[in-house]
């Protein structure tokens, strides 16, 4: 049993943290997310070239740093602390995850491009009618000669405005909500028939509504086996959830520490408000939520390599803890900051917004509780 | 980062599991199964087996009888005991007093008292709380005044009242916090005394708790004569001993292994009990959700404890996360008791205590769940209430 980080992982953390301290201050971020592009391609270039972190979870044969999920965890936690919006999740964790696990013929080339910062991925899985049921798909991919024609609409595809590639779930068979018949495709975002409507999200990211109209792709666009894509989707999604938990730990830490700091300096009734016991106990409860979230993130990240059932149960348990912590710590951070927290100027409110959105990312707390129940109680229930 | 146990740890688990299976006293097991109240000999039966084996006090320094186990091995040990539903070794001597003696005591005191604790020959009780000194322990009033006896030796004359003395009715000796200097700030005038419970002037009176049990007592001290050599550490520096005692023995404070076992039992109950809609209670939307949330919280606590252990293994000592263990551990124990009582439905109400123990009314799993619930409210109150724990975290960890 070991919860320590390797020297490489500690170095990775230091590298990311020090770059973000120099280049990702709150004001710089605020300017960037309000700009037309909504992100800073030069930061992405630095991730690729200066820091080399876009290869963190890829093997050395593929040109990566030889890490894995723990390395994603390290990077994402630091990103959470700085509220990084650049698309590491979509590109490295999710895009990279699909490529690594599927054995896709084009994977080595594409991973090389990811590591170089030249390929950016967004995951088009959600649909307007489906909440968090990944196989609820109206998007179809029908056979067309040797390839497929994709038709459908995808909802809130985070990072799509910046993406070069989309990973798309579509139905090649079965009914709308069947587990069978789900396939995964790699689609060039510039392919004819792909249209996007881009917009900002409330937490400073960018997303798109993506429409596919008779988008023609070759058979080589298929990732994994036709009609049997759901287990692959679940596996990559679980990895993305673990990485989201790690990001949340960074966000929660800033919320908790920022609140302690603020209450020490804010005076009312002639004393720092941190001297009030009712606020002290609230901050202790925030701290406990943070620590429990860190514990669950470690647990979930380590269990990513377990069998599908155990992996899924661990991931959902962690997401439940994270979701609850995001709500409790976020709301109380705002409460203890008072009115200042709901001004756009103060950083704390922006952490609160991200924490709140994380509650729903890849499945809400209720969704994951229900998934956990099904996995833990099985037939008994 | 990984969750793998080393080959040595796996072998160790096998060894302790086999040892428990082969050596746990059969009479004790039978009494536990039937729910009969345990007597003094029952409480000590497992202790004595472990003392003979050399496993009664894993955390002590090796020279006094400790096992030199790694934190992971101690964790495995507590897991295996919980899994086998063993009774816990009583903490008063082994976990509470002994560390004070081997840390602060004289060589004579170590020789005199540690073997009796180890072998279970001397039953110890704790004399800390008073009617007017609970969370504010330092405000205690029991006073000890120095005098020279007719034999020319130095004594303390102790007067006052202690309360919540757990299992004091069986005690041979007690360790007491007493005021030896009333004129300084409270923490500075306290001494740590060992008192023979057979001394003239001591009276132990039972306190009956909500579930009808006699576990705790009031202890009255009326001109009790205590030789000065029974004082541990310096006069007026007993608070140092008391504080050290509180910081000691963090492993196991969360009770994770016992709660995991409790959760298994709850799930068994909820698989047998029926829900309003038919089918097992565990299929009830609302009940199921409460169990799931509890299970997830327990997992989080388990990993917080494992992180603490890992910190100890790598020599960092318990980190700030260990302060959480008492609060979350007791909250989870209480939620388990709450859900067991809920699950029992109608049969949570019958109170069989006065009927004798072969009286079966309702399913056997419902027997005692109400008692456990009522008695269990103590856990968030004792050992420094959970509010005091939050004060400690606020001060020591958050720096407020």
Answer yes or no: do B398 and A280 touch at CB < 8 A. Answer: yes
Q: What is the pLDDT of residue B368?
A: 86
Beta-carbon contacts of residue A300 (< 8 Å; ≥ 6 apart): A241, A242, A245, A314, A315, A317, A318, A319
Which residues of A fall within a CB distance of 8 Å from B318? none
- Residue of chain A whose alpha carbon sits nearest to that of B4: A1
> Is the pLDDT at B320 greater than 90, yes or no?
no
Chain B: residue whose CA lies nearest to A366: B289
Task: Using an 8 Å CB-CB cutoff, list chain A residues near B329.
Answer: none
Of A275, A284, A376, the CB nearest to B295: A376
- Residue B206: pLDDT above 70? yes
d(CA B236, CA B239): 8
What is the structure's pLDDT at A381? 54
What mean pLDDT, rounded, does chain A reach? 97
Question: Can you tell me which residue has the tokens 């016992």?
Answer: B258
Evaluate if residue B316 carries a pLDDT over 90: no
Q: What is the pLDDT of residues B245-257, one digit of tens each?
A: 766 555 567 899 9
Test the B interface: residue of A2, A242, A249 with most B CBs within 10 Å: A2
* Count of beta carbons in the 10 Å neighbourhood of residue B63: 9
Cβ separation of A298 and B2 shorter than 8 Å? no
Shortest CA distance from A282: residue in chain B: B390
Alpha-carbon gap: B3 to the closest alpha carbon of chain A (Å)? 4
Model confidence band, residue B199 (pLDDT cutoffs 50, 70, 90): very high
Mean pLDDT of A344-350: 96
Those residues of chain B whose CB sits closer than 8 Å to some CB in chain A are 1-5, 9, 72, 267, 271, 280, 282-283, 288-289, 291-293, 295-297, 299-304, 306-307, 309-310, 314, 320-321, 324, 327-328, 387, 390-391, 393-394, 397-400
- Binding-face residues of A in 231-260 toward B, CB within 8 A: 260
pLDDT at B251: 54
The string of pLDDT tens digits covering residues A256-301 is 999 999 999 999 999 999 999 999 999 999 999 999 999 999 999 9
Q: Considering only CB atoms, which chain B residues are within 8 Å of A2?
A: 1-2, 4, 310
Q: Chain A interface, mutation test: which of B5, B299, B331, most A Cβ atoms within 10 Å?
A: B299
CA gap A211, A197 in Å, rounded: 9
Task: Tell me the nearest-neighbour CA distance from A274 into chain B, angstroms.
Answer: 6
State mean pLDDT over B255-282.
95
When scoring A1, A263, A322 by the number of chain B Cβ atoms within 10 A, the one with the most, hence best to mutate, is: A1
Contact check, Cβ <8 Å, A295/B304:
yes
Nearest to A380 among B271, B303, B394 (CB): B271
If you average pLDDT over every residue of chain B, what do you get?
92
The pLDDT of residue A194 is 98
Contact list in B for residue A70 (CB cut-off 8 A) is: 1
Q: Is it the case that residue A103 has pLDDT exceeding 60?
A: yes
CB A260 to CB B314 under 8 A?
A: no
Closest alpha carbon within chain A to B298: A292
Q: Is A121 left (phi over 0), alpha (psi -120 to 50) or beta?
A: beta
- Is A72 exposed, middle or buried (CB count within 10 Å of its CB: 0-12, 13-18, 19+)? buried
Cβ-proximal residues to A22 (8 Å cutoff; 6+ apart), any chain: none
Is the CB of residue B212 less than 8 Å from the CB of residue B370?
A: no
- Selecting from B282, B320, B321 the residue whose C-beta is nearest the C-beta of A380 gives B282
Whether the CB of A265 is below 8 Å from some CB of chain B: the reply is no
Q: Which stretch of A39-53, A164-178, B38-52, B321-335 has the lowest confidence by average pLDDT?
A: B321-335
Alpha carbon separation from A166 to A170, A185, B84 (Å, rounded) = 12, 8, 53
C-alpha–C-alpha distance, residues A369 and B178, integer Å: 51
Q: Has residue A45 got a pLDDT over 60?
A: yes
Chain A residues near residue B326 by CB distance under 8 angstroms: none
Distance CA B97, CA B348 (A): 38
d(CA B82, CA B86): 6
Check residue A116 and give its pLDDT. Answer: 98
Could you tell me the CA-to-CA distances from B44 to A328, B89, B121 in Å, in that order? Answer: 45, 8, 9
**Binary contact (A1, B321; C-beta < 8 A):** no
Per the listing, tokens 């579930």 go with B211
Cα A333 to Cα A257: distance, rounded to the nearest angstrom: 9
Q: Is A283 on the interface with B (CB under 8 A)?
A: yes
- Residue A373 to residue B292, Cβ atoms within 8 A: yes
| Among B1, B286, B306, the residue to mutate for chain A (most A Cβ within 10 A) | B1
Residues of B within 8 A of A77 (CB-CB) are: none
- Please give the residue of chain B at the shortest CA–CA distance from A259: B398
Contacts of B325 in chain A (CB under 8 A): none
Mean pLDDT computed over B58-76: 92
- Among A165-169, B37-41, B206-210, name the one with the lowest average pLDDT: B37-41
- Check residue B356 and give its pLDDT: 55
Name which of A292, A301, A306, A329 to mutate to probe chain B: the one with the most chain B Cβ atoms within 10 A of its Cβ: A292
Q: Is the pLDDT of residue B291 over 90?
A: yes
Tell me the pLDDT band of B94, cut-offs 50, 70 and 90. very high
pLDDT of residue A8: 95
Confidence grade of residue B319 (pLDDT, cut at 50, 70, 90): low
pLDDT (0 to 100) of residue B89: 94
Using an 8 Å CB-CB cutoff, list chain B residues near A5: 1
Burial degree of B271 (CB within 10 A; 0-12, 13-18, 19+): middle
In this prediction, residue B111 carries a pLDDT of 97
Write out chain A residues lying below 8 Å of B292, CB-based: 369, 372-373, 376-377
- Which chain B residues have a beta carbon less than 8 Å from that of A299? 3, 299-300, 303
Q: Is A2 in CB contact (< 8 Å) with chain B? A: yes
Q: Do A380 and B397 touch (CB under 8 A)?
A: no
pLDDT (tens digit per residue) in A145-162: 999 999 999 999 999 999
Residue B310: what pLDDT? 79
Q: Which chain A positions have a beta carbon within 8 Å of B380's beta carbon?
A: none
**The predicted structure's pLDDT at residue A172:** 98
Which pLDDT band holds residue A2 (cuts at 50, 70, 90)?
confident
Residues of A in contact with B398 (CB under 8 A): 260, 280, 283-284, 287
3-state SS, residue A152: strand
The nearest CA of chain B is from the CA of A144 a distance in Å of 46
Enumerate the residues of chain A whose CB falls inside 8 A of the CB of residue B394: 277, 280-281, 283-284
Task: Give the closest residue to B259 by CA, choosing from B293, B302, B292.
Answer: B302
Q: What is the DSSP letter of A172?
A: S
Angle between helices B40-53 and B26-34 (to 10 degrees): 140
- CB neighbours (10 Å) of residue A105? 8
Distance CA A142, CA A140 (A): 6
User: What confidence category does residue A48 fall into, taking pLDDT thresholds of 50, 70 and 90?
Assistant: very high
Contact B219, B168 (CB under 8 A): yes
Neighbours of A374 (CB within 10 A): 15
Chain B contact present for A376, CB below 8 A: yes
- Dump the DSSP string for A277-315: HHHHHHHHHHHHHHHHHHHHHHHHHHGGGS-HHHHHHHH
Say if A302 is an interface residue toward chain B (CB within 8 Å).
yes
| DSSP symbols for A61-88 | TTTS-S--HHHHHHHHHHHHHHT--SSH
The whole-number pLDDT of residue B359 equals 66
Which residues of chain A does B303 touch, with a Cβ-Cβ cutoff of 8 Å?
A: 295-296, 298-299
For residues A340-357, average pLDDT: 96
pLDDT digits (tens, 9 = 90+) for B377-398: 999 998 888 998 999 899 989 9
Question: Using CA atoms, how far apart are residues B83 and B91, in angstroms rounded to an integer?
Answer: 19
Q: Is the pLDDT of residue A141 over 90?
A: yes
Contact assessment for residue A304 and residue A100, using Cβ atoms and an 8 Å cutoff: no
- How high is the pLDDT of residue B37? 81
- Name chain B contacts of A320, Cβ cutoff 8 Å: 293, 296
Average pLDDT estimate for A8-30: 97
Q: How confident is the model at residue B358 (pLDDT cuts 50, 70, 90)?
A: low
Cα–Cα distance measured from residue A316 to residue A337, given in angstroms and rounded to the nearest whole number: 31
- Given a contact cutoff of 8 angstroms between Cβ atoms, the answer to whether B144 and B180 are in contact is yes
Q: Give this prediction's pTM.
A: 0.94
């Amino acid at each position: 049993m070991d919860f320590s980080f390797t020297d490489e992982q500690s170095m990775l953390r230091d590298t990311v943290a020090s770059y973000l301290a120099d280049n990702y201050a709150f004001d710089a971020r605020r300017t960037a997310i309000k700009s037309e592009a909504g992100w800073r391609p030069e930061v992405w270039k630095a991730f690729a070239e200066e820091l080399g972190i876009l290869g963190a979870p890829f093997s050395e044969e593929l040109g990566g740093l030889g890490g894995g999920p723990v390395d994603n965890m390290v990077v994402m936690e630091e990103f959470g602390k700085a509220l990084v919006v650049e698309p590491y999740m979509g590109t490295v964790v999710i895009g990279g995850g699909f490529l690594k696990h599927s054995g896709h013929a084009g994977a080595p080339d594409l991973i090389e491009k990811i590591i170089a910062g030249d390929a950016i991925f967004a995951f088009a899985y959600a649909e307007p009618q489906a909440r968090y049921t990944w196989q609820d798909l109206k998007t179809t991919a029908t056979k067309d000669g040797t390839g497929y024609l994709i038709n459908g609409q995808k909802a809130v595809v985070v990072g799509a405005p910046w993406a070069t590639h989309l990973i798309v779930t579509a139905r090649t068979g079965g009914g709308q909500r069947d587990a069978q018949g789900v396939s995964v495709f790699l689609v060039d975002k510039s392919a004819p028939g792909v249209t996007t409507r881009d917009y900002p999200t409330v937490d400073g990211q960018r997303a798109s509504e993506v429409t596919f109209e008779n988008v023609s792709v070759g058979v080589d666009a298929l990732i994994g086996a036709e009609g049997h894509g759901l287990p692959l989707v679940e596996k990559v999604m679980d990895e993305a959830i673990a990485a989201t938990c790690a990001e949340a730990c960074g966000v929660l830490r800033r919320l908790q520490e920022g609140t302690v700091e603020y209450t020490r300096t804010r005076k009312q009734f002639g004393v720092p408000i941190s001297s009030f016991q009712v606020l002290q106990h609230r901050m202790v409860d925030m701290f406990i939520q943070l620590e429990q979230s860190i514990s669950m993130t470690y647990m979930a990240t380590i269990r990513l390599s377990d069998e599908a059932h155990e992996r899924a149960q661990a991931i959902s348990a962690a997401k439940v803890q994270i979701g609850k912590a995001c709500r409790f710590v976020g709301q109380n951070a705002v409460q203890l900051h008072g009115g200042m927290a709901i001004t756009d100027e103060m950083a704390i409110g922006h952490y609160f917004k991200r924490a709140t959105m994380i509650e729903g990312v890849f499945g809400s707390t209720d969704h994951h509780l229900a998934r956990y129940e099904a996995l833990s109680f099985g037939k008994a229930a | 980062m990984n969750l793998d146990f080393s080959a040595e740890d796996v072998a160790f688990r096998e060894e302790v599991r086999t040892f428990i299976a082969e050596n746990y006293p059969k009479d004790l097991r039978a009494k536990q199964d039937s729910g009969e109240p345990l007597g003094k000999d029952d409480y000590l039966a497992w202790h004595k087996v472990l003392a003979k084996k050399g496993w009664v006090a894993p955390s002590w320094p090796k020279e006094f009888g400790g096992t030199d186990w790694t934190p992971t091995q101690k964790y495995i040990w507590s897991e295996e005991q919980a899994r086998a539903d063993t009774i816990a070794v009583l903490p008063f001597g082994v976990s509470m007093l002994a560390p004070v003696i081997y840390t602060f005591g004289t060589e004579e005191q170590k020789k005199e008292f540690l073997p009796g604790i180890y072998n279970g020959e001397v039953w110890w009780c704790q004399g800390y709380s008073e009617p007017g000194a609970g969370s504010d322990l330092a405000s205690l009033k029991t006073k000890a005044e120095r005098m020279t006896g007719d034999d020319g030796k130095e004594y303390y004359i102790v007067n006052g009242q202690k309360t919540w003395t757990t299992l004091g009715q069986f005690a041979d000796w007690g360790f007491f916090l007493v005021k030896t200097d009333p004129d300084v700030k409270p923490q500075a005038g306290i001494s740590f005394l060992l008192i023979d419970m057979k001394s003239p002037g001591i009276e132990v009176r039972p306190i009956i708790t909500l579930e009808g049990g006699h576990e705790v007592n009031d202890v009255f001290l009326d001109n009790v004569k205590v030789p000065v050599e029974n004082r541990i550490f310096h006069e007026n520096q007993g608070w140092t001993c008391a504080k050290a005692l509180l910081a000691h023995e963090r492993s196991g404070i969360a009770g994770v292994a016992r709660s995991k076992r409790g959760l298994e039992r709850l799930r068994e109950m909820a698989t047998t009990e029926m829900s309003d809609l038919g089918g097992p209670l565990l299929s009830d939307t609302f009940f199921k959700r409460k169990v799931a949330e509890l299970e997830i919280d327990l997992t989080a606590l388990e990993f917080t404890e494992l992180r603490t252990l890992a910190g100890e293994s790598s020599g960092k000592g318990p980190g700030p996360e260990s302060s959480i263990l008492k609060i979350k551990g007791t909250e989870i124990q209480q939620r388990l008791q709450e859900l067991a009582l809920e699950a029992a439905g109608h049969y949570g109400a019958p109170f069989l205590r006065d009927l004798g123990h072969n009286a079966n009314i309702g399913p056997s799993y419902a027997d005692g769940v109400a008692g456990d619930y009522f008695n269990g409210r103590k856990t968030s109150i004792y050992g420094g209430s959970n509010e005091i724990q939050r004060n400690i975290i606020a001060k020591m960890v958050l720096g407020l």
